[in-house]
Amino acid sequence: MSHIGKQPINIESNVELIIDEREISVKGPKGTLEWTLPKGIGLELKDGVATVIMKKEDKNLKKFYGLTRSLVANMVTGVTKGFDKRLEMVGVGYRSRIDGRSLVLNVGFSHPVKIDPPEGITLQVEEGIIVVSGINKQLVGDIASKIRAVRKPEPYKGKGIKYVGEKIRRKAGKAAKSA
């Protein structure tokens, strides 16, 4: 059995967890998230603590036991605190700006790249740092990876879009190898 799946999920007083057979809904101060539980997995709510239960012992269900607990815990955290990812731009002339709801990137291409975020995701630009925030952890990470994929950091000069705190492994160029 998964050690992660056994851990209880503390539900704060300002969060409402609604379980309707396999459909679960989490409402909080920042919004509402919904998700469908896998077949054979249940969620039990007692005294502000939710626990994930397997309805029967099955080898295939063990895969989803810890995953379900993590996803429900992330939903609870998302509707209370929210999630954010920070990306930084490294390169001469690399710029980003917000145009309405869209993010416009100038990263060395002949044209600006426009990224439209889905509902529930907000984008901000603060002095070369792009902040992607929202209540759905999976969606925040997905949009942040799409922004990073526009111009991945390259290993020779380190130019590109990278996560704040990400270490780029640098390579020696041809001139450094021959010397």
**What pLDDT, in 10s, does the model give residues 11-62?**
988 999 998 888 999 999 999 999 999 888 888 888 889 998 888 888 888 8
Contacts 24+ apart (CB under 8 A), 14-18: 14/80, 15/76, 15/79, 15/80, 17/43, 17/45, 17/50, 17/76
List, for residues 58-85, the tens digit of each pLDDT value.
Answer: 888 888 888 999 999 999 999 999 999 9
CATH number assigned to the domain with residue range 3-80, chosen from the 4 options 3.90.930.12, 3.40.50.2300, 3.20.20.100, 3.40.50.300: 3.90.930.12
Q: Which residues pair with 84 in a beta bridge?
A: 133
Structure tokens at 33: 């998230």
List, for residues 90-104, the tens digit of each pLDDT value.
Answer: 989 999 999 999 999
**Contact criterion met (CB below 8 Å) for 107 and 89:** yes
For the chain, give every domain's residue range: 3-80, 83-163
Q: Do domains 3-80 and 83-163 have the same CATH topology?
A: yes
Q: Is 66 exposed, middle or buried (0-12, 13-18, 19+ CB in 10 A)?
A: middle
Fold of the CATH domain 83-163: Outer Surface Protein A; domain 3 (3.90.930)
Nearest-angstrom CA–CA distance, 47 and 10: 9
Cα dist. 102→30, 44, 96, 115, 159 in Å? 21, 40, 11, 6, 23
List, for residues 129-140, the tens digit of each pLDDT value.
Answer: 999 999 999 999
